[in-house]
A and B are shown apart, each in its own frame.
Chain A
């Protein structure tokens, strides 16, 4: 039988916690409410739900683990290339003009193995699961010029703070549509002195996108900042006038 929990230890903080979130949330639908109701009363449901989040984390970790074996046997460039292709991203070697990409099903062309000594110049890992730990695979690419992580759900401020590795060579950075980036991470971009084009469009967690775009332009004077996809209209408030 299901193990019953004593309700004494239920998270009674559920009600006040709603005051902490600044973004208004819609009341959750039936299925999450039912799961919460059950997990507060049965230890088994609570354990199963914690397993599911553990599995999700494990999936993310497996996508981003360090390709140490590949690095040892085939060199840093091949390891980075293999990592990008297994994430379903694309890249371009320095000195060449064709891009290596993997298709929707994860299949890719193995020709990149012929270029062991060329470093990677442009990387496009948009809409993938790259995160902070995955960046470890790319740190040896000191000639990286373009990086696009647009739409990546796992790219957060810590990822941006790690980009200082490419501070001399990175010229173009695209971090649009990343739901986890906030102002604290954008402040870390100050180290990228070589940056010429920065795209910070449609970042949902930015509260003052216009101001942040101006501050970024001041912070990186040689860089062109693109910040589209925001609603800059004035908030119209009703004011009552007497008399």
Chain B
């Protein structure tokens, strides 16, 4: 056994000639076995020299988009496969620097204060996952995952007009099991003496499992673990699909095209070279750019009144985050405060820095062809901030950045599930700013949908494409 161990590791030849001859023979047998395996169909061997950065020619599941949702799905697929190398998963990411990815540009908050029970459950499951993240995502001999989770909670403020909505949401949240408490104005003033409670009638504070964390650490934890489990990663752009079409006629005589993706064309960055990857299932987790990927399959390009004419209603929306410095601002106990005017801010680090932002009105949406920051927009945020927290009257903007929301224009909730007309394309997109906090739970739900055929632990059928076809929106009232 020691001899075979020696033969299988890359040791230098020993001085003793006899042992060297034995290992040489073993190596030759090993090489012969590998060549024989490569000659069998289904292996990756080709006689031609190929570019190392190309993806494999065949993959079972291709995940378009290497953000936190895409890698979460890849991890859970590998976690749930029943046998070793049961599914070959390929994650295709366009940008190796993640410079425009929504994941890394996000504020990184997680909250349970939603109005839909499904969203609350998604957040609670994701928080449980993050609490036990080292049980799930630790890799042998690597550092343990440290998300730098700040447990400061979210604080929502409500004016007269929306107080009843907040109370209803509170009931839904408590029923779903989230630990939230309602605060009156006096209690709020006692808890946060730095707040100006003008106009605030009710406040809702999350006691547990709420706060913010580092999204890059979560993304890398998923990626590292998934790669260690055998997920293939490719940096390239999916530029098109090759599909077969099956035309069927309905009872009324209309024709419907059912498409099945056969190949996904992955183009290398800065090159015309592309690799058609033969795949069984494609998962669209491209975030803000999922609409473009869906268009490649012809979703939305059919006749106006047919199902084929309904596009994927996900488009990129630019949101700004400003880093401000205020030496006399609220201290370590600052929660993630969301005002009823739409302005939010949270503490960043220990040096008196805060990050603030606001969702613009529908008419004032900035254009999305670049990630330039509009510094004039801060002039709209500042009055609200200074009104709510008097200490913020003397603050200085030190930095700012912009990121995209994968905004679902239909009802601002995620779209999870299969498309009715494209038989093997699954969606996990459109979360409109909540993708990061729901990513572990959505990844598990997608893996169950793909491998088990249906949702097992959490039923997300309310988020399927069906509601877009029947035009029944599931509105989430607590969008920030």
Cβ contacts under 8 Å, B150 to chain A: 183-184, 187
A212 and B1 alpha carbons, distance in the complex (Å): 56
The interface stretch among A8-16, A118-126, A140-148 is A8-16
A132 and B138 alpha carbons, distance in the complex (Å): 19
Q: Are A185 and B151 in contact (CB under 8 A)?
A: yes
Cβ contacts under 8 Å, B146 to chain A: 182
A182 and B151 alpha carbons, distance in the complex (Å): 10
A132 and B134 alpha carbons, distance in the complex (Å): 14
- The answer, among B131, B148, B331, for a CB contact under 8 Å with A158, is B131
Q: Are A184 and B151 in contact (CB under 8 A)?
A: yes
Q: Are A183 and B350 in contact (CB under 8 A)?
A: yes
- The answer, among A37, A50, A161, for a CB contact under 8 Å with B151, is A161
Q: Are A182 and B332 in contact (CB under 8 A)?
A: no
Hey, what's the 0/1 contact readout for B135-147 against A, CB within 8 Å counting as 1?
1001111110010
- Judge whether B57 is part of the interface by a CB distance below 8 angstroms: no
- Judge whether A17 is part of the interface by a CB distance below 8 angstroms: yes
Task: Classify the secondary structure of A's interface with B.
Answer: helix
- Judge whether A160 is part of the interface by a CB distance below 8 angstroms: yes
A58 and B131 alpha carbons, distance in the complex (Å): 17
The interface stretch among B206-214, B239-247, B248-256, B389-397 is B206-214
A28 and B148 alpha carbons, distance in the complex (Å): 25
- Judge whether B9 is part of the interface by a CB distance below 8 angstroms: yes
A57 and B315 alpha carbons, distance in the complex (Å): 43
- The answer, among B143, B230, B331, for a CB contact under 8 Å with A21, is B143
Q: Are B140 and A46 in contact (CB under 8 A)?
A: yes
* Interface magnitude class on chain A: 35 or more
Hey, what's the 0/1 contact readout for B106-148 against A, CB within 8 Å counting as 1?
0000000000000000000000000100010011111100101
Chain A: which residue is nearest B152 at the CB level?
A187
Chain A: which residue is nearest B232 at the CB level?
A9
Task: Classify the secondary structure of B's interface with A.
Answer: loop
Closest Cβ of chain A to B52, distance in Å, is 12
Q: Are B333 and A11 in contact (CB under 8 A)?
A: no
Closest Cβ of chain A to B223, distance in Å, is 9
Hey, what's the 0/1 contact readout for B316-342 against A, CB within 8 Å counting as 1?
000000000000000111000000000
Cβ contacts under 8 Å, B174 to chain A: none
- Count of residues in B whose CB is under 8 Å from the partner chain: 35
A11 and B228 alpha carbons, distance in the complex (Å): 6
- Judge whether B224 is part of the interface by a CB distance below 8 angstroms: yes
Q: Are B332 and A216 in contact (CB under 8 A)?
A: yes
A185 and B211 alpha carbons, distance in the complex (Å): 10
- The answer, among A21, A164, A211, for a CB contact under 8 Å with B208, is A164
Q: Are A160 and B151 in contact (CB under 8 A)?
A: yes
Q: Are B149 and A11 in contact (CB under 8 A)?
A: no
Interface residues of A in 52-76 (CB under 8 A from B): 53, 57
- Judge whether A1 is part of the interface by a CB distance below 8 angstroms: yes
- Judge whether A127 is part of the interface by a CB distance below 8 angstroms: no
Interface residues of B in 213-264 (CB under 8 A from A): 213, 220, 224, 227-228, 230
- Judge whether B35 is part of the interface by a CB distance below 8 angstroms: no
Q: Are A219 and B333 in contact (CB under 8 A)?
A: yes
Q: Are B141 and A190 in contact (CB under 8 A)?
A: no
- Judge whether B4 is part of the interface by a CB distance below 8 angstroms: yes
- The answer, among A4, A57, A184, for a CB contact under 8 Å with B149, is A184
Closest Cβ of chain A to B154, distance in Å, is 13
Interface residues of A in 152-178 (CB under 8 A from B): 157-158, 160-162, 164
- Judge whether B8 is part of the interface by a CB distance below 8 angstroms: yes
Cβ contacts under 8 Å, B333 to chain A: 187, 190, 219
- Judge whether A39 is part of the interface by a CB distance below 8 angstroms: yes
Interface residues of B in 453-476 (CB under 8 A from A): none
Cβ contacts under 8 Å, A39 to chain B: 140
Q: Are A158 and B151 in contact (CB under 8 A)?
A: yes
- Judge whether A215 is part of the interface by a CB distance below 8 angstroms: yes
7 closest A-B pairs by beta carbon, nearest first, are A190-B333, A188-B151, A161-B151, A184-B150, A215-B332, A219-B333, A21-B143
30 A-B pairs with CB atoms under 8 Å apart are A9-B230, A11-B140, A11-B142, A11-B227, A11-B228, A13-B228, A14-B141, A17-B142, A17-B224, A21-B143, A43-B84, A50-B140, A53-B138, A157-B151, A158-B131, A161-B207, A161-B208, A161-B209, A161-B211, A184-B148, A184-B149, A184-B211, A186-B332, A187-B333, A188-B211, A190-B152, A208-B350, A215-B332, A218-B331, A219-B332
